[in-house]
């Protein structure tokens, strides 16, 4: 086999896996909130957008170092999410799930429209100190921000794994996720852990905003990252942190293979003989086709908890 083909395949697969881990980091925000509150937060992508916009604006307009701007964004997002949980979502506890879903969709539209009014709608670059020149290993070209993003995601997942498995607050948070009423009966302050979950989702959003903002620039389209991680959480399972990692890598690799092999093939004459249309961009919708397939055969995802209801 031609070694160029092998290197090309490895480069596409590894870069896809690295991007997938960055997706997994954003998907963690969905999982944290769903595990603790049973709510699907459709505004997680907008949290990422707000974080990226805030850091980029503070750094560009006020010459604040990115590190300090990131800390300011972190404090803001934690306080913002705590206020959001108290004012908007806590009063909706006990309401139908569809009501909470519609509330977060409305919230997403509101945030996407309002925050560009404060920070501007122009696309900004976000320099977090990661070089742009590719790192070359053998004949594999790696994008530095993808490598750094994947390492940050791995470190963060390891930290969260320790927190959930070893710390008292993590064990309590798992108990809240399993059953709210039993947790209250055991003396756990469920509402306090709701706040903790939303705060951690804010931290995840800031990390996602820094990494994705550095990778693709910062404007209101950064919120699209929130939609692109839906296949990740569906594939891995809505309440599974491990599923985030596996789902993220699978989606990232599928997306990379689509862009590497299928999109170029669609421009070839032999392809047009069978499919007489012009197109491309399969990498953008292949993860959603994968998500639909998973919903058919494993509606709870690869690592999701199967819920059996007695009727």
Instruction: Determine the Cα–Cα distance for residues 27 and 45; give it in Å rounded to an integer.
Output: 9
Q: Do residues 144 and 135 lie in contact, with contact meaning Cβ atoms separated by under 8 Å?
A: yes
- Which is higher by pLDDT, 281 or 141? 141
Summarised one tens digit per residue, pLDDT across range 247-271 is: 999 999 999 998 888 888 777 777 7
Whether the predicted pLDDT of 174 surpasses 80: no
pLDDT of residue 230: 85
pLDDT in tens, 86-122: 888 777 766 777 787 888 888 888 888 888 888 887 8
Residue bearing the bigger pLDDT, 288 or 265: 288
Q: Is the pLDDT of residue 72 over 90?
A: yes
Burial class of residue 143 (count of CB atoms within 10 Å of its CB; 0-12, 13-18, 19+)? middle
Residue that wins the pLDDT comparison between 142 and 165: 142
The answer to whether the predicted template modeling score (pTM) of the entire model surpasses 0.85 is: yes
Query: Among 96-100, 164-168, 239-243, whose mean pLDDT is lowest?
Result: 96-100
pLDDT band at residue 307 using 50, 70 and 90 as cut-offs: low
In the predicted model, what is the mean pLDDT of the chain? Answer: 85
The confidence band for 311, taking pLDDT boundaries of 50, 70 and 90, is low
- What mean pLDDT is predicted for residues 29-58? 86
Sequence-separated (6 or more) residues with CB below 8 Å from residue 309? none
Q: How far apart are CA 98 and CA 119, in angstroms?
A: 32
User: pLDDT, tens digit, for every residue of 191-234?
Assistant: 888 888 888 888 999 999 999 999 988 888 888 888 888 889 88
- Is pLDDT above 80 for 276? no
């Amino acid at each position: 086999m031609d070694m160029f083909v092998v290197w090309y395949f490895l480069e596409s697969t590894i870069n896809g896996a690295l991007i997938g881990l960055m997706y997994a980091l954003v998907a963690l925000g969905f999982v944290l909130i769903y595990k603790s509150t049973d709510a699907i937060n459709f505004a997680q992508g907008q949290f990422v957008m707000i974080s990226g916009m805030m850091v980029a604006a503070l750094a560009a307009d006020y010459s604040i170092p990115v590190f300090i701007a990131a800390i300011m964004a972190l404090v803001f997002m934690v306080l913002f999410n705590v206020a959001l949980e108290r004012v908007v979502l806590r009063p909706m506890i006990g309401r139908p799930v569809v009501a909470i879903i519609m509330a977060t969709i409305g919230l997403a539209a509101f945030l996407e429209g309002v925050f560009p009014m404060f920070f501007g709608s122009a696309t900004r670059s976000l320099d977090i100190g990661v070089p742009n020149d590719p790192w070359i290993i053998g004949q594999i070209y790696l994008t530095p921000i993808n490598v750094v993003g994947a390492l940050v995601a791995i470190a963060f997942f390891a930290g969260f794994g320790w927190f959930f498995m070893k710390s008292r607050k993590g064990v309590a948070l798992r108990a809240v996720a399993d059953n709210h009423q039993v947790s209250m009966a055991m003396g756990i302050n469920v509402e306090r852990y709701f706040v903790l979950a939303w705060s951690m989702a804010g931290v995840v959003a800031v990390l996602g905003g820094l990494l994705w903002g550095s990778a693709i620039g910062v404007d209101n389209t950064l919120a699209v990252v929130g939609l692109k991680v839906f296949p990740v959480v569906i594939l891995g399972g809505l309440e599974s942190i491990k599923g985030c990692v596996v789902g993220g890598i699978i989606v990232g690799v599928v997306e990379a293979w689509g862009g590497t092999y299928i999109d170029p093939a669609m421009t070839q004459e032999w392809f047009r003989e069978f499919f007489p249309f012009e197109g491309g961009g399969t990498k953008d919708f292949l993860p959603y086709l994968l998500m639909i397939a998973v919903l058919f055969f494993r509606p709870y995802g690869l690592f999701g908890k199967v819920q059996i209801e007695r009727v």
